[in-house]
A and B are shown apart, each in its own frame.
Chain A
Amino acid sequence: MNPAPSIVFFTVASGAGYGLLFWMGLLRPLGLVPGGAAFGAGAVGLALVLIMLGLLSSTAHLGRPERAWRALSQWRSSWLSREGVAAVVTFAPAGLFFIAVIGGKEWLAWWTGLLAAAGAAATVYCTGMIYASLKPIRQWHNPLTTPGYLLFGAFSGAVLLAMLAAFWGAAAVPAAIAALLGAGSFVFKRVYWASIDAAPPVATMESATGLGFIGKVRPLDPPHTETNYLLREMAFRIGRVHAARLRRIASLVGFAAPAVLLALALPMGGVPAGILALAAALLALVGLLAERWLMFAEATHTVALYYGVGEPR
């Protein structure tokens, strides 16, 4: 699948934003992150900015962005619509949460935070389900896809929270969570890759054409000699070497390194911890962009079979 920058950025940014919102909503009432207005404004504000940038970016993928509001109507069947509804609905508690945090209205912050956390989780769940529900793309139509979105959102949110908290010298809890989630993500992603590498293609040129009873099917001539939308969008292929390198970047830079850095930062505190947490956050985001780019680039769509573009082997 074509790794369109708008979608790669959108899912990473909004995933991190929702993750951050989730942890703020959850940890703040528990007093596990700094409770001041400045910190709260910074953290919730950053979350909202990331979410909005992501959503804005996603509209760049639309042919008719001015009609985007229509996407809220089909929540009964469409995960994309549900994602939109969840995102919009989440803005209400999240906005109030932001106001409450700034205004020091702890009773309001307490329950809007929890609601926002729930909304964030729901939204990211929907995002995951958009991909997980697409049967023609086996790398997405996988039981690990949605947990992955949730996990990586939680992880990147926690990393960002740890970074902010480190500036306040109180990063212990988020950093510990982030380090654990990073380690978990590292393992999880490897399990996912092993799973998609081992799985057979969902269909073959033979089943796509119904001609397998004759023998091996090979393309002779495409319908048109130049490229087209389907090929650009759904027959994107990445070289093995390139994919392997990106997998290393994603898993080491995106998950392992931030986990290690945050683990190191835990006992330190102060400026060194802040620097480490900042580095961890930057690495996590870079790694996640690579991970998300790969999520598309490694995904194969059955339509490519009609053009003889088989799975890379």
Chain B
Amino acid sequence: MTSLPTPAPGAKKLGLVIDLDTCVGCHACATNCKEWNTSGHMAPLPDRNAYSAGQEGVWFNRVHAYEAGEGEEGRTVHFPRSCLHCETPACVTVCPTGASYKRAEDGIVLVNTDICIGCQLCAWACPYGAREFDDDAGVMKKCTLCVDRIYNETIPEPQRVPACVSTCPAHARHFGDLGDPESAVSKLVAERGGVELMPELGYKPVNRYLPPRRAPKADAGPPKEAGPLPSRITNPLLRWVDKVLSR
């Protein structure tokens, strides 16, 4: 049923917190996601024209690069984009078959590919481009938040996180319960001013993005202890003549 579940108070809201300050754009999250999921719950993630012109495939995670601001004052930002597991996801409510659903117990948005008819309306309804149409199988696929990893008892506990989080070399991805204000991810969001994407649309995304830290403006003037002015120095070497430097 594509009506949204009414989560019990305190129900988990699993999601990702992505640190745009440290993401260097290595695409590890994207390819690790791909390798996990192409043999995972929504397998396969096919690739069309894999070795010819027009190569494209199903990816649950895509890393954009942007520039914000002008010239040297600006910032290059690498921006991984995947499903935000919204609290009020229209991709679920528009689904005519019930294939698209949001789980009450942890908030993960999934697609049951056995009953998806491939109408793609969910892709239209998602403002974030999180839906990935597998035109080979004719069904919609998407980020599962690695539902087949995070509860997997055959994996050591510390690695029971989504593949993208586990692999991120810059530790720019964090996974946890954003419904619990005391969780590490919630605290991180509070501390760093994590933002929702396009909050104006009202989908209440669970994932948060930590904005790039902004350094103080360049050329703000030299620090106080900048040393004597050039005009005051005749021969700087003279100062060393009487310096005693012992071991």
Which residue numbers of A lie inside 8 Å of B, CB to CB?
A: 1, 61-65, 67-68, 70-74, 76-81, 84, 130, 133-137, 202-203, 205, 207-224, 226-230, 233-234, 301-303, 306-307
The size of the chain B interface, using a CB distance under 8 A, is 70
Q: Is B185 an interface residue (CB 8 A)?
A: no
Q: How far is the CA of A5 from the CA of B94 in the complex (A)?
A: 22
> Is B67 touching A233 in the complex (CB atoms < 8 A)?
no
Q: A78-B93, A220-B76, A224-B62 are in contact. Are A63 and B121 (CB under 8 A)?
A: no
Q: Is B190 an interface residue (CB 8 A)?
A: no
> Is B119 touching A62 in the complex (CB atoms < 8 A)?
yes
| Shortest Cβ gap from A277 to chain B (Å) | 36
Q: Which residues of A contact B119 (CB under 8 A)?
A: 61-63, 71, 80
Can you pick out 10 interface pairs between chain A and chain B where the beta carbons lie within 8 Å of each other?
A: A63-B118, A63-B137, A64-B138, A79-B94, A215-B73, A219-B64, A223-B81, A227-B54, A230-B123, A234-B129
Q: How far is the CA of A303 from the CA of B125 in the complex (A)?
A: 10
Q: How far is the CA of A133 from the CA of B30 in the complex (A)?
A: 31
> Is B74 touching A302 in the complex (CB atoms < 8 A)?
no
Q: Which residues of A contact B199 (CB under 8 A)?
A: 207
Q: How far is the CA of A84 from the CA of B97 in the complex (A)?
A: 11
Q: Is B24 an interface residue (CB 8 A)?
A: no
Q: Which residues of B contact A72 (CB under 8 A)?
A: 96
Q: How far is the CA of A139 from the CA of B202 in the complex (A)?
A: 17
Q: Which residues of B contact A301 (CB under 8 A)?
A: 124, 127
Instruction: Name which residue of chain B comes closest to A135, CB basis.
Output: B201
B80-111 interface bits toward A, Cβ cutoff 8 Å, 1 = contact, 0 = none: 01000000001011111111000000000000
| Shortest Cβ gap from A61 to chain B (Å) | 7
Q: Is B175 an interface residue (CB 8 A)?
A: no
> Is B138 touching A63 in the complex (CB atoms < 8 A)?
yes
Instruction: Name which residue of chain B comes closest to A133, CB basis.
Output: B94
Q: Which residues of B contact A64 (CB under 8 A)?
A: 116-118, 138-139
Instruction: Name which residue of chain A comes closest to B3, CB basis.
Output: A77
Q: Which residues of A contact B125 (CB under 8 A)?
A: 133-136
> Is B124 touching A216 in the complex (CB atoms < 8 A)?
no
> Is A135 touching B202 in the complex (CB atoms < 8 A)?
yes
Q: Which residues of A contact B128 (CB under 8 A)?
A: 302-303, 306
> Is B197 touching A74 in the complex (CB atoms < 8 A)?
no
Main SS of the interface on chain B?
loop
Q: A62-B138, A63-B133, A208-B197 are in contact. Are A226 and B54 (CB under 8 A)?
A: yes
> Is A217 touching B97 in the complex (CB atoms < 8 A)?
no
Q: Which residues of B contact A227 (CB under 8 A)?
A: 54, 56
Q: How far is the CA of A224 from the CA of B132 in the complex (A)?
A: 14
Q: A208-B198, A234-B123 are in contact. Are A74 and B98 (CB under 8 A)?
A: yes
Q: How far is the CA of A307 from the CA of B59 in the complex (A)?
A: 15
> Is A303 touching B95 in the complex (CB atoms < 8 A)?
no
Q: Which residues of A contact B75 (CB under 8 A)?
A: 211, 214
Q: How far is the CA of A307 from the CA of B14 in the complex (A)?
A: 27
> Is A136 touching B201 in the complex (CB atoms < 8 A)?
yes
> Is A209 touching B127 in the complex (CB atoms < 8 A)?
no
Q: Which residues of B contact A62 (CB under 8 A)?
A: 117-119, 138
Q: A134-B90, A211-B211, A223-B62 are in contact. Are A78 and B68 (CB under 8 A)?
A: no
| Shortest Cβ gap from A241 to chain B (Å) | 27
Q: Is B147 an interface residue (CB 8 A)?
A: no
Q: Which residues of B contact A63 (CB under 8 A)?
A: 116-120, 133-135, 137-140
> Is A202 touching B66 in the complex (CB atoms < 8 A)?
no
Select one of A1, A80, A223 contacting B59, CB under 8 A: A223
Q: How far is the CA of A216 from the CA of B30 in the complex (A)?
A: 26
Q: Which residues of B contact A65 (CB under 8 A)?
A: 117
